[in-house]
Every structure is written in structure tokens, then in C-alpha cells.
């Protein structure tokens, strides 16, 4: 499959930062995830081997799982009332493939990296920030 990387106008995500939540450890994990997504973009741009892309995606999936576990631990320890919806959002995300394939107007198949980054950015705004607000107020 040829590699088309659908992304926003920026050539690199390196200098993007996700919205800060207020808990340093979580913000660092979000930044590490973004760094790995950026690395994935570089690999795809450079025409990396299928196996290498697969390994990177597996590594990224494991990072997401560790990060989600950390958030789940914090939510349960604090009796967070919206735990179920937040946890479910994590589970649904992990059930799908991290990198969706997509076909452009010329019919060429590629990877939609922007969708992955957008998911994470939206998730942080919609779920992580309210969670952190609660955790900070109840710690």
C-alpha cells in the first residue's frame, strides 16, 4: 500500500502540544504519546517497512494502555463519578486499529494520522481535563 499521510497543514507535529491538564505526570505521558505519533509520521513519510510500522504501532498501543491504566487508577482511587464513560472511551479506542486507512480522491489508499492525533486531542479536552479538575479538587 502506498503511503499517503493525511495530516493538518503542519509538516511536523513536533512543536504541537496537547492541552495541559494540570497533572505533570499525565501531561508528560500525553507529550510522549505525541512524540511517538510524530515519529510514526516520520517513518511513514520515509517509506518505512511494513513490519517496522507495525512494531511502532504496537509500541504506541502499549504506551496508550499504560497511560489509560494510570488514568483509571487515579480515577478509581479518587471515586471519580464519570469513571465509566471515561474508561469506556479508552476501551472503544483500543478496540479499533490506531491508524485508520483511508482513500483519497485519486483512489489512492493511505493512513489517516490526523484522525489519531485528533482523537487524542479531543479526548484530552473532553475527558482528561474534567477528570484532572476533579482529581485536583479532591486530593
Shortest gap between Cβ of 107 and Fe ion (angstroms)? 36
Give me the residue label for grid cell 497543514: 9
Q: Please report the DSSP string for 89-139 in residue order.
A: HHHHHHHS-SSEEEE-TTS-EEEEHHHHHHHHHHHIIIIIHHHHHHHHHT-
Q: Residue 128 interacts with Fe ion (CB under 5 A)?
A: yes
Shortest gap between Cβ of 114 and Fe ion (angstroms)? 18
Q: Within positions 69 to 88, which residues make up the interface with Fe ion, using CB under 5 A?
A: 71
- Position of minimal CB gap to Fe ion: 128
Compare residues 93 and 114 and give the one whose CB is closer to Fe ion.
Answer: 93
Binding mask 10-49 for Fe ion (x = CB under 5 A): ----------------------------------------
Give me the residue label for grid cell 480515577: 75
Distance CA 112, CA 61 (A): 16
Number of separate helices (H) and strands (E) present in the chain: 5, 2
Q: Residue 120 interacts with Fe ion (CB under 5 A)?
A: no
Compare residues 23 and 44 and give the one whose CB is closer to Fe ion.
Answer: 23
Query: In whole angstroms, what separates CA 24 from the centre of its chain?
Result: 17
List of residues contacting Fe ion (CB under 5 A): 71, 127-128
Amino acid at each position: 500500500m502506498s503511503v499517503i499521510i493525511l495530516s493538518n497543514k503542519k509538516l511536523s507535529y513536533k512543536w504541537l502540544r496537547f492541552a495541559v491538564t494540570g497533572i505533570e505526570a499525565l501531561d508528560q505521558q500525553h507529550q510522549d504519546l505525541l512524540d511517538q505519533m510524530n515519529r510514526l509520521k516520520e517513518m511513514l513519510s520515509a517509506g518505512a517497512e511494513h513490519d517496522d510500522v507495525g512494531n511502532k504501532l504496537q509500541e504506541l498501543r502499549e504506551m496508550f494502555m499504560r497511560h489509560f491504566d494510570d488514568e483509571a487508577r487515579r480515577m478509581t482511587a479518587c471515586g471519580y463519578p464519570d469513571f465509566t464513560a471515561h474508561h469506556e472511551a479508552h476501551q472503544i479506542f483500543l478496540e479499533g486499529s490506531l491508524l485508520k486507512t483511508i482513500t483519497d480522491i485519486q483512489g489512492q489508499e493511505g493512513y489517516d494520522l490526523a484522525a489519531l492525533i485528533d482523537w487524542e486531542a479531543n479526548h484530552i479536552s473532553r475527558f482528561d481535563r474534567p477528570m484532572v479538575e476533579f482529581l485536583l479538587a479532591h486530593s
